[in-house]
Structure 1
Amino acid sequence: MRRLIDIKEDIEETNYWIPVSNLMAAFMLVLLVVLVAGFAYVNNMPKYVPQQQEQQQTENVDQEYLAELEAREAGVNAQSEALKELTGIREGIVAKLSDTLASLDISADIDKKTGSVRFGEAVLFNVNSTDLNPAGQEYLKKLIPAYLSVVLSENNREYIEQIVIEGHADDGGTYLYNLDLSQKRSYSVAGFIISSKLSMLQDGTDAEKLLAISGKSFSRPVMVNGAVDRSLSRRVELSFVLKYDMLMDRMQDAIKAGEE
């Protein structure tokens, strides 16, 4: 009887350890799977991290490139607007100047693109002379007030940098001789404008500080049918210079505004 009891106990003990061994085997299998997966993740991580970093760097480069393109576009637009403004101002002055001189019956050759007023040698000077003749003085007394009333009007004054008086000669004689002649003629015109108070505007502002002179000798001859026209080359030109610096500042402000 005792033997039967011992055998029964051995069987029960054996049946107990079988499930335990199965659980241990299953646990070891799960642990093995986890370890394999872990090793695979670790092995792939060095490849995945650089790929992620590379993707992030690419995205950063794309964003920087887009920002640069937007800044360039803003700059181009600002330049375009500045040029439109500059062109519009000049065209407006030229149109008004032409109408004003025509209404006052003042004869003048006006460049439709630049607004430069050209008058020949015979209008102001005798041959090889740097002194204004009486007819030239009377002509300037009519022309200058009308010219300045348009160019330096309240609407245009802030845009004007200078009023330039340029003397020009033909190619007869040396360059230095004609340089001196053209320079002295432009100086004579400026001197007469200031001494005769023609630079004084109606509101009491004196525009003399805006006057500048230049002698060009025969560096810019007048060409007719491909040949130099000496008579037309001997001339004085009156022109205005716009404040490019102010327009450039506006352009820079527009660019900065586009970048923000």
Structure 2
Amino acid sequence: MERKKGSSVERVLQIVEEVAKATRPLSAGDLSEILDIPKPSMHRLLQQLQETGFLRLDLQGRVVCGERTHKLVFHVWKNGAYKSDREAVLQRLSQHIGETVGISILDRLSVVYIDRVLSNWPLQINLPEGMNVPIWASASGKLLLAQMPTSSLQRVIENLEPYALTKNTIVHKADLLASIKQIKKQGFAVDDEEFIPGMVACAVPIINPERGEIFATLFTHAPSVRKSLSELQAYIPAMQEAAQELSQLFSKMK
């Protein structure tokens, strides 16, 4: 079936849309075939999108989303429909656990906090929204790594250069892969003072209901002097219920 030709603006948006929803990085040839755009035109449009920061090339020369696309998604999530509903879910969970909770997404080799509700304790660890956290040293990061296809995970780990942030940070790639394998089995991840000394954390997946894959994580963290890691893990069932609510909200946004 021949695809109906659109305006140049529509074609640009279609390219960004296809790259954003793809389960793997796409080549210019892939995009040309999917969108029925001649290869010379596709290369020209891709060049413009790279120059403006909406797309970029990965290490294999494939097309992936750029910094401006990630920021656009962040702002749509923050200010879009169901923002108050999402905050209500987080507020209830924070009150139940008695600690800070939030939502994070993957941004290249970092984790970005995009939503957060603070605990009411005077003593708390301030990790502001928009902050980038190393993927190998956080519960959310390891959980997002665990959701990657094996081939993609291997490429990421090969190009990763983990360094120690605390005495508990996992810096050996073999140990990191073993940890990720365990996370895949159990369906959640923990941070045992691996990112910040004296902080423990847990994370559970938020699933895209249409595609059955993780698109974000729901996390909680606490000073270890107030809650041990095992005490925090006791709230994982409640976190999973809240993550299901957030997943349903996501489906309504579509």
Pairwise TM-score range, normalised by the shorter structure:
under 0.3
The structure richer in strand per residue is 2
Using structure 1 for the length normalisation, give the TM-score: 0.23
The structure richer in helix per residue is 1
